[in-house]
A and B are shown apart, each in its own frame.
Chain A
Amino acid sequence: MSLLKEPDLGTPGRKGEPTVEVEIDGVGVAVPEGTSVMRAAALAGVDVPKLCATDSLEPFGSCRLCLVEVDGVKGTPASCTTPVRPGMTVRTQTPKLAKLRRGVMELYISDHPLDCLTCSANGDCELQDMAGVTGLRDVRYGVGEGEHHLDAPTDTSNPYFDFDASKCIACSRCVRACNEVQGTFALTISGRGFDSHVSPGQDQPFMDSECVSCGACVQACPTATLQEKSVVDLGMPNRTVLTTCAYCGVGCSFKAELRGDEVVRMVPYKDGGANEGHSCVKGRFAFGYASHPDRQLNPMVRDTIADEWREVSWEEAISTVATRMRDIQERHGTGAIGGITSSRCTDEEVYVVQKMVRAAFGNNNVDTCARVCHSPTGYGLKQTFGTSAGTQDFKSVAESDVIMVIGANPTDAHPVFASRMKRRLREGAKLIVIDPRRIDLVRSPHVEAQHHLTLAPGTNVAIVNALAHVVVTEGLVAEDFVADRCEDFDEWREFIARPENSPEALAEVTGVPAAEVRAAARLYAAGPNSAIYYGLGVTEHSQGSTMVMGMANLAMATGNVGRDGVGVNPLRGQNNVQGSCDMGSFPHELPGYRHVADENVRDIYEKLWGTPILPEPGLRIPNMFDAAIDGSFRALFVQGEDIAQSDPNTQHVHKALESLELVVVQDLFLNETAKFAHVFLPGTSFLEKDGTFINAERRINRVRPVMRPKTGKHEWEIVCEIAQAMGYPMTYENTSQIMDEIALTTPTFSGVSFELLDRVGSVQWPCNENAPLGTPIMHEETFVRGKGRFMPTVYVPTKERSTRKFPLILTTGRILSQYNVGAQTRRTANVAWHPEDVLEIHPHDAEVRGITEGAMVSLASRVGQTSLRAKLSDRMPVGVVYTTFHHPVTGANVVTTEHSDWATNCPEYKVTAVQVGLLSVTAPTEERAERAPVPVAGN
């Protein structure tokens, strides 16, 4: 249930032209074949009473309220499960139907507590609505005489919602939402007749069941049986603001529902292009960090990092930044300062930071946290396709016949997209997973991968070459597509067909049997619609960029680019990775991925900004660290990224930060990086921001403020004021003007404005005169660069090897309930699922080390050591261990190294040679919570 009712047509729409004409209560309507009578009626403006039906779920036909009469048909069929037929004449309101419906309602009401005056639904209840709609006036079975279930237990185990069994009408909407929308199958209806009841798992509390707390059941519930605790505690919200989630790159649209300035709940928006009414545990529930007491709301300064922070006025903080930045430039040169933009901030906030660096700082020393995640996507897709962007919209996966997931774990990291993917897999699409770990997708309810290629970490390029070798040597190339759309194919064909690229030759390197690779390649090539989805398991390698090009080669060779159901699609880690990259955050590119050496592009900005722009690339983040240590780089502005925790080789990062004269941190919290900061500028949460995020499908979504900035200033205002204090005029009246400047200067955004977004909801770039409503699928007629370019991808092993001293390979990743460095999710009830990082280790590797489940272990690499609790798991292959980096107390990046992608310097997080040793058999959780952050060199 939700405060603002979006139209509910009762059953899902069907594809096709509206060719079936029917008449409902005298109103004619044409709908696609397969449409239900209920939906046709709704489209004709006729509401049919319903309880078990809702248009996010397939019809079920259990409540019997939606009965109708059809001319020439005996009985009173349920309109939700009855498809239209040409010429059908339907009546939804007759005395007979009214009597039947009242009878049904009497039965429901006789088995309901009728505590409406104290119910948390407070009138937001479909059961109550239907009692009114059906004209229920009395209950023949007695009011107060039936079974009211008031002694039924309420399951309060989930931190975010309650299950009050007394109010349940056994409509199965929650069960079907869990099955059909989320795809987890955690719920069922147990018992029969009056004993029917919703059962999580094996009649377990929700928290102990397989429930992933996505909230789809809460949203589907027509009564207050499943209700947000916040609604129970605070009451129903009374206003709604439509905005966009600030967690992963799926970019779900939400209705923020409030009482005054207090967010009561977040309800996923049915018309949201990315999520279409679904959500995950983070987006729907984990917003409490925005009002967490840890938030710093006042600017602070200090002379040295050994000093105490001193709260100051905004004027003093901004003046301090500007004065010290200019002083450093006078003493050490223009290039001695720089900035880092954040993929958690809006496009407009990012744009002004890169503008501040280029126009006010006078250099190109601006980089973004995408450096450490998807920068190889930028390089690889630009080389092959012509631009840094996923090729499809999320909906496209519904048309895929074969889905290849490489180095991604969508059910944990991109759960709402994973639900789309699982739905398609349940419909029969085939799945190939390429990952060292047995991720959940490999085998989950009603989903099983046809092929799981458990490759050795660091051998992605070898695998993609082997797959392509099969395509080329077994005659599986889409010759027409290649001839018409691509270039440099013959050279690539000669390269990839060489014997050293065969699955047999590479099996020893990858550890994957050749026959399995050949079968996977044949499946992918057969399609007919084959799609690749990939994550940081592709990019965060020494050959991350090469692997991106390898996947592009494979897609082009099989003709899987440029239409629905195919493509090469990066699953972006953070909410605005795509946008922050689009906005010119890289040191070599102005907005729209245009190189700073391009005089024509510089000319656009030089004229508008009134200042020259350097024609040479600036420093990347790792280069900034190196230059800080060598003394040539002296000051850094950090927008919303916790580089001290998230970047690799923590000791090196800390040494670099300590070397800087001035570190300015703009963030919600005093994070790990703030320990090295001299100025702290409090930032705003997504609930306060006004602007846009761009998700992994290039969808530009509005982020609307639900409250004023708790800090008194928007982040873009702060950046503009710093630039002005440094002598560069930079003013905007609002963020709409910033987007207007982006549109004015960036061809792929030329049609974008807040007015357009408010009018149509969202658009996917390119959005310009050629595509005024955006571009869901790219490269349909031609590639952005004209011809798709095949690039030879020679496999070069990483220099990071296991040794006798460090015999295991560590790979890192994310878990469903936590997000990145955990700054947000650790300050929510999500810690109930993941209170600490753990080390997943194969039972064989554990046994030889004397490690048992829950034991404290040391994790050491050649650069550092930390300790954490062991979790024995045969999801891991022997020889590979895995952990997350959500908790600073563990500091997983203490052990990751300086190795990086050769083209972009994206760190090689996914391959670190380590040793694991037993520290103690057990350690109480409380003791862990009190431990100080891991000590590292120089700290």
Chain B
Amino acid sequence: MSTLPPHVRLANEIADQVRHLDPDEAAAFIANHLRSFWERRMLHALLTHVDAGGADLDPLAAAAAARLRQPA
């Protein structure tokens, strides 16, 4: 079983799919996907995780989280 919290595991899985893209493009894709499909408390949990150091979070997902803090 994965020991990662669900929001970290799921964000990392999305990042795996766009690793072939330019990092900025990948982060934008992930951020857009999260805005479109993730519920507010999951987004909040992800941002809280980043604030706490972002352990085990894929850098692309972390970059996407940073974009989530900006207006869409």
Contact with A along B1-22 (1 / 0, CB 8 A): 1100010011001101101100
Contact with A along B48-60 (1 / 0, CB 8 A): 0000000000000
Considering the complex, give the chain B residue whose CB is closest to the CB of A338. Answer: B39
Is A794 touching B20 in the complex (CB atoms < 8 A)? yes
Is B20 touching A335 in the complex (CB atoms < 8 A)? no
Considering the complex, give the chain A residue whose CB is closest to the CB of B7. Answer: A626
Selected interface stretch from A179-187, A300-308, A407-415, A616-624:
A616-624
Is A898 touching B1 in the complex (CB atoms < 8 A)? yes
Is B39 touching A587 in the complex (CB atoms < 8 A)? yes
Q: Contacts A546-B17, A902-B13 known; A335 to B37 CB distance under 8 Å?
A: no
Q: Please report the C-alpha to C-alpha distance between residue A863 and residue B2 in the assembled complex, in whole angstroms.
A: 10
Q: Please report the C-alpha to C-alpha distance between residue A903 and residue B38 in the assembled complex, in whole angstroms.
A: 10
Is A365 touching B36 in the complex (CB atoms < 8 A)? no
Instruction: Say yes or no: is B40 at the interface (Cβ < 8 Å to chain A).
Output: yes
Instruction: Say yes or no: is A542 at the interface (Cβ < 8 Å to chain B).
Output: yes
Is B16 touching A617 in the complex (CB atoms < 8 A)? no
Q: Contacts A542-B13, A794-B17, A902-B13 known; A617 to B38 CB distance under 8 Å?
A: yes
Is B39 touching A618 in the complex (CB atoms < 8 A)? yes
Q: Please report the C-alpha to C-alpha distance between residue A897 and residue B9 in the assembled complex, in whole angstroms.
A: 13
Is A623 touching B39 in the complex (CB atoms < 8 A)? yes
Is B39 touching A902 in the complex (CB atoms < 8 A)? no
Q: Please report the C-alpha to C-alpha distance between residue A587 and residue B35 in the assembled complex, in whole angstroms.
A: 12
- A897 — which chain B residues lie within 8 A by C-beta? 1
Instruction: Say yes or no: is A828 at the interface (Cβ < 8 Å to chain B).
Output: no
User: Which of A335-367 touch B at CB < 8 Å?
Assistant: 335, 364-365
User: Which of A600-632 touch B at CB < 8 Å?
Assistant: 616-620, 622-623, 626-627, 632
Is A902 touching B41 in the complex (CB atoms < 8 A)? no
Instruction: Say yes or no: is A588 at the interface (Cβ < 8 Å to chain B).
Output: yes
User: Which of A883-924 touch B at CB < 8 Å?
Assistant: 897-898, 900, 902-905
Name A632's contact: one of B6, B38, B41 (CB within 8 Å): B41
Q: Please report the C-alpha to C-alpha distance between residue A587 and residue B36 in the assembled complex, in whole angstroms.
A: 10
- B39 — which chain A residues lie within 8 A by C-beta? 335, 364-365, 587, 616-620, 623
Considering the complex, give the chain A residue whose CB is closest to the CB of B11. Answer: A902
A546, A632, A799, A902 interface centre (most CB from chain B within 10 Å): A902
Instruction: Say yes or no: is A465 at the interface (Cβ < 8 Å to chain B).
Output: no
Instruction: Say yes or no: is A578 at the interface (Cβ < 8 Å to chain B).
Output: no
Q: Please report the C-alpha to C-alpha distance between residue A364 and residue B16 in the assembled complex, in whole angstroms.
A: 28
Instruction: Say yes or no: is B66 at the interface (Cβ < 8 Å to chain A).
Output: no
Q: Please report the C-alpha to C-alpha distance between residue A620 and residue B40 in the assembled complex, in whole angstroms.
A: 12
Name A588's contact: one of B2, B9, B36 (CB within 8 Å): B36
Q: Contacts A862-B1, A863-B1 known; A588 to B13 CB distance under 8 Å?
A: no
Is B6 touching A626 in the complex (CB atoms < 8 A)? yes
A617, A632, A799 interface centre (most CB from chain B within 10 Å): A617
Instruction: Say yes or no: is A796 at the interface (Cβ < 8 Å to chain B).
Output: yes
User: Which of A56-70 touch B at CB < 8 Å?
Assistant: none
Is A898 touching B2 in the complex (CB atoms < 8 A)? yes
- B42 — which chain A residues lie within 8 A by C-beta? 619, 623
Is B36 touching A543 in the complex (CB atoms < 8 A)? no
Is B16 touching A902 in the complex (CB atoms < 8 A)? yes
Instruction: Say yes or no: is A395 at the interface (Cβ < 8 Å to chain B).
Output: no
Considering the complex, give the chain A residue whose CB is closest to the CB of B38. Answer: A617
- A632 — which chain B residues lie within 8 A by C-beta? 41
Nearest CB on A from B41, distance (A):
6
User: Which of A628-648 touch B at CB < 8 Å?
Assistant: 632
Instruction: Say yes or no: is A595 at the interface (Cβ < 8 Å to chain B).
Output: yes
Count of CB-CB pairs between chains A and B under 8 Å: 59
- A622 — which chain B residues lie within 8 A by C-beta? 6
Q: Number of contacting residues on B, CB 8 A?
A: 20
- A618 — which chain B residues lie within 8 A by C-beta? 39
Name B41's contact: one of A335, A597, A792, A900 (CB within 8 Å): A335
Q: Please report the C-alpha to C-alpha distance between residue A627 and residue B40 in the assembled complex, in whole angstroms.
A: 12
Considering the complex, give the chain B residue whose CB is closest to the CB of A863. Answer: B1
- A903 — which chain B residues lie within 8 A by C-beta? 14, 17, 33, 37
Instruction: Bin the interface of chain A by size.
Output: 20 to 34
Q: Please report the C-alpha to C-alpha distance between residue A185 and residue B28 in the assembled complex, in whole angstroms.
A: 56
Considering the complex, give the chain A residue whose CB is closest to the CB of B39. Answer: A619
Nearest CB on B from A499, distance (A):
15
Is B16 touching A796 in the complex (CB atoms < 8 A)? yes
- B13 — which chain A residues lie within 8 A by C-beta? 542, 799, 900, 902
Q: Please report the C-alpha to C-alpha distance between residue A719 and residue B2 in the assembled complex, in whole angstroms.
A: 38
Is B16 touching A627 in the complex (CB atoms < 8 A)? no
Considering the complex, give the chain B residue whose CB is closest to the CB of A379. Answer: B37
Considering the complex, give the chain A residue whose CB is closest to the CB of B17. Answer: A902
Name B17's contact: one of A796, A862, A904 (CB within 8 Å): A796
Q: Please report the C-alpha to C-alpha distance between residue A622 and residue B9 in the assembled complex, in whole angstroms.
A: 13
- B14 — which chain A residues lie within 8 A by C-beta? 902-903
Considering the complex, give the chain B residue whose CB is closest to the CB of A365. Answer: B39
Nearest CB on B from A491, distance (A):
11
Is B40 touching A616 in the complex (CB atoms < 8 A)? yes
Q: Contacts A796-B16, A898-B2 known; A627 to B38 CB distance under 8 Å?
A: no
Q: Please report the C-alpha to C-alpha distance between residue A828 and residue B1 in the assembled complex, in whole angstroms.
A: 37
- B1 — which chain A residues lie within 8 A by C-beta? 862-863, 897-898
Name B10's contact: one of A588, A617, A905 (CB within 8 Å): A905
- A619 — which chain B residues lie within 8 A by C-beta? 39, 42
Is B2 touching A617 in the complex (CB atoms < 8 A)? no
Nearest CB on A from B15, distance (A):
9
Q: Please report the C-alpha to C-alpha distance between residue A904 and residue B38 in the assembled complex, in whole angstroms.
A: 10
Is A623 touching B6 in the complex (CB atoms < 8 A)? yes
Q: Please report the C-alpha to C-alpha distance between residue A627 and residue B7 in the assembled complex, in whole angstroms.
A: 11
Nearest CB on B from A448, distance (A):
37
- B9 — which chain A residues lie within 8 A by C-beta? 898
Considering the complex, give the chain B residue whose CB is closest to the CB of A619. Answer: B39
Nearest CB on A from B40, distance (A):
6
Q: Please report the C-alpha to C-alpha distance between residue A862 and residue B1 in the assembled complex, in whole angstroms.
A: 7
- B33 — which chain A residues lie within 8 A by C-beta? 903
Considering the complex, give the chain B residue whose CB is closest to the CB of A542. Answer: B13
Contact with B along A168-204 (1 / 0, CB 8 A): 0000000000000000000000000000000000000
- B2 — which chain A residues lie within 8 A by C-beta? 898
Nearest CB on B from A903, distance (A):
7
Considering the complex, give the chain A residue whose CB is closest to the CB of B34. Answer: A617
Is B37 touching A588 in the complex (CB atoms < 8 A)? yes
Nearest CB on B from A380, distance (A):
13
- B19 — which chain A residues lie within 8 A by C-beta? 794, 796
Is B41 touching A595 in the complex (CB atoms < 8 A)? no
Q: Please report the C-alpha to C-alpha distance between residue A586 and residue B61 in the assembled complex, in whole angstroms.
A: 24
Nearest CB on A from B14, distance (A):
5
Q: Please report the C-alpha to C-alpha distance between residue A862 and residue B2 in the assembled complex, in whole angstroms.
A: 10
Nearest CB on B from A851, distance (A):
27
Q: Contacts A863-B1, A898-B1 known; A335 to B40 CB distance under 8 Å?
A: yes
Q: Please report the C-alpha to C-alpha distance between residue A55 and residue B9 in the assembled complex, in whole angstroms.
A: 58
- B10 — which chain A residues lie within 8 A by C-beta? 900, 905
Considering the complex, give the chain A residue whose CB is closest to the CB of B72. Answer: A597
Considering the complex, give the chain A residue whose CB is closest to the CB of B45. Answer: A630
Considering the complex, give the chain A residue whose CB is closest to the CB of B2. Answer: A898
A-B contact pairs, 5 of them (CB 8 A): A622-B6, A792-B20, A796-B19, A897-B1, A900-B13
In the complex, the 10 A-B pairs of residues with the closest C-beta atoms, listed nearest first:
A626-B6, A902-B13, A619-B39, A794-B20, A902-B17, A902-B14, A796-B16, A618-B39, A588-B37, A616-B40
Given A622-B6, A902-B16, 18 more A-B residue pairs with CB atoms under 8 Å apart are: A542-B13, A587-B39, A597-B35, A617-B36, A617-B37, A618-B39, A620-B39, A623-B6, A623-B39, A792-B20, A862-B1, A863-B1, A897-B1, A903-B14, A903-B17, A903-B37, A904-B37, A905-B10
Residues of chain A having any CB pair with chain B under 8 Å: 335, 364-365, 542-543, 546, 587-588, 595, 597, 616-620, 622-623, 626-627, 632, 792, 794, 796, 799, 862-863, 897-898, 900, 902-905
Residues of chain B having any CB pair with chain A under 8 Å: 1-2, 6, 9-10, 13-14, 16-17, 19-20, 33, 35-42
